[in-house]
Amino acid sequence: MATRDLADSPLVRRLADWDDTRLASLADEYDTPLYVTDLDRVKANYRRFSAAFPDAHVMYAAKAHTGRSVLEALLSVGADIECAAWGELQRSIDAGADPNTLQYTAVNPPDHDLDYAVDLAEEAPGLTITIGATDTLDRLAERGYDGRIAIRINPGIGTGHHEKVATGSDAKFGIPYEQVPAVADRVREEFELVGIHSHAGSGVLTDDLEEHCRAIERVGEMARRVGSLEFVDIGGGFGVPYHEDEPPLDLEKTAEMVRDAIGEIDAQLKLEPGRYIVADAGLILTAVNTIKETPSATVVGVDASLATLIRPAMFGSYHPMRNISAPNRQPEPVTVGGPVCTSADVFATDRPIARPEREDVLAIGNAGSYGYELASQFHSQPRPAEVALEDGEARIVRRRETLDDVTRVEQ
């Protein structure tokens, strides 16, 4: 990316940086709730991250947002794709990815996933399968696979914004650290050992970097013990600020700390950002339908719900909110919730927002990562539409579901 282009691309896109008038017109044209994804921002984020690690191979972790338009946008700027399930492999191929460039990170993979990956590798021997259990090696051998393998390490150090994403210290993920050399010997006997992999956690910001780099140091140490590797993959996990007063990740400092932590390795360094690439490139538009004054709170009811965005209910996550219909009204503390019949269906509690009124449209920011991916049809709610912005144009990239879509699989 040209220096001028990087300078024009801020390190973080705050919710207030979006054009309220444009967003209001999208809500009017396409109805609400509505996901909006800025593909130009997606591409800029990938380019900025890649520029900070010029000697590394930067892949995109598809699980953050597997929408075809996002995958196509990233492939157009040279990204390769890391996948965590067979469906992500197929969707990446459908979007135009060369299967020989894909990396499949198998976590307790169902039989169908392994069957698919092994069949794919017969046609695309460049596919890399990352294993986190010797059981997976046994199951691959039973299927006649002898191709490219990366070993996922459990470094014993977890980082990130929530305990549920601190994968580096969770026994579910990766080979226990001291078992890795023996597993590497086995892989070399039966397969082609090409790399080691680790992922310490998700949502890492500057304050988390020292702990994150402690995990990376252990990966570097293991890479030197195992030796003769094509790549060393330290995963993703790099975060974006969700709170308005949080500073963005200092990429130059991050890159310097990562290089120091990994140390000298005779292998290609790989990284797999997901959230960093798409989080601030997406938001949700939702319409106000209810204003209820109570002794304890002013409750604002909207048409989005935890079925639209589950992160606040699942992780207690903060997402910025803005009244795009009347951003200059006097802010008032309000509690914003959806139509789902549970107290968990709340996006904000006592949050100062420009005083909402019925039919106003609110924007929920930083919804581009693990937003639509975790959306559901709870309460028989059809999932929302998604609009993509690119080169000044808006287009539907995912139509709004109907009740027929919800019930289609019933017999």
Percent of the chain scoring above 90 in pLDDT? 87
Say what the pLDDT of residue 5 is. 52
What single-letter amino acid sits at 96?
G
| Cis bond before residue 33 (omega within 30° of 0) | yes
| The pair of three-digit structure tokens given for residue 41, joined into one six-digit string | 């921002």
Say what the pLDDT of residue 167 is. 45
Q: How many CB atoms lie within 10 A of CB 22?
A: 12
Rounded alpha-carbon distances, angstroms, from residue 381 to 34, 37, 358, 375: 13, 21, 21, 10
Say what the pLDDT of residue 111 is. 97
Does the structure show a pLDDT above 90 at 19?
yes
Does the structure show a pLDDT above 50 at 25?
yes
**Full 3-state SS string of 349-361:** EEEEEECCCCCCE
Q: Are 219 and 153 within 8 A, CB to CB?
A: yes
Pairing mode of beta strands 346-354, 331-337: antiparallel
Q: Are 216 and 200 within 8 A, CB to CB?
A: yes
Binding residues for substrate: 275, 311, 370
Q: How confident is the model at residue 170 (pLDDT cuts 50, 70, 90)?
A: low
Does the structure show a pLDDT above 50 at 88?
yes
Of 30-39, 177-186, 192-201, give the lowest mean pLDDT range.
Answer: 192-201
Pairing mode of beta strands 361-364, 282-293: antiparallel
Q: Are 130 and 107 within 8 A, CB to CB?
A: no
**What mean pLDDT do residues 93-103 have?**
98
Phi first, then psi, for residue 238 (nearest 5°) are -75, 130
Say whether 83 is catalytic.
Answer: no
Binding residues for pyridoxal 5'-phosphate: 237, 272-275, 370
Does the structure show a pLDDT above 90 at 161?
no
Catalytic residue selected from 7, 341, 404, 408: 341
Say what the pLDDT of residue 172 is. 75
pLDDT digits (tens, 9 = 90+) for 223-282: 999 999 999 999 988 999 999 999 999 999 999 999 999 999 999 999 999 999 999 999
Burial class (CB in 10 A: 0-12, 13-18, 19+), 339: middle
Binding residues: 237, 272-275, 311, 370
Does the structure show a pLDDT above 60 at 358?
yes
Whole-angstrom distance between the N-terminal and C-terminal Cα of the chain? 52
Q: Are 305 and 312 within 8 A, CB to CB?
A: no
Instruction: Give one DSSP letter per residue of 157-188, joined into a string.
Output: --EESSGGG-GGG-TTSSEEGGGHHHHHHHHH
Say what the pLDDT of residue 6 is. 54
Beta bridge partners of 80: 59
Does the structure show a pLDDT above 60 at 340?
yes
Say what the pLDDT of residue 211 is. 83
Does the structure show a pLDDT above 90 at 125?
yes
Say what the pLDDT of residue 157 is. 64
Say what the pLDDT of residue 160 is. 41
Of 17-21, 185-189, 197-201, 405-409, give the lowest mean pLDDT range.
Answer: 197-201
pLDDT digits (tens, 9 = 90+) for 36-56: 999 999 999 999 999 999 999
Does the structure show a pLDDT above 50 at 165?
no
Locus of tokens 């974006």 = 240
Rounded Cα distance between 38 and 219, Å, is 35
**Residue 124 or 165, more confident:** 124
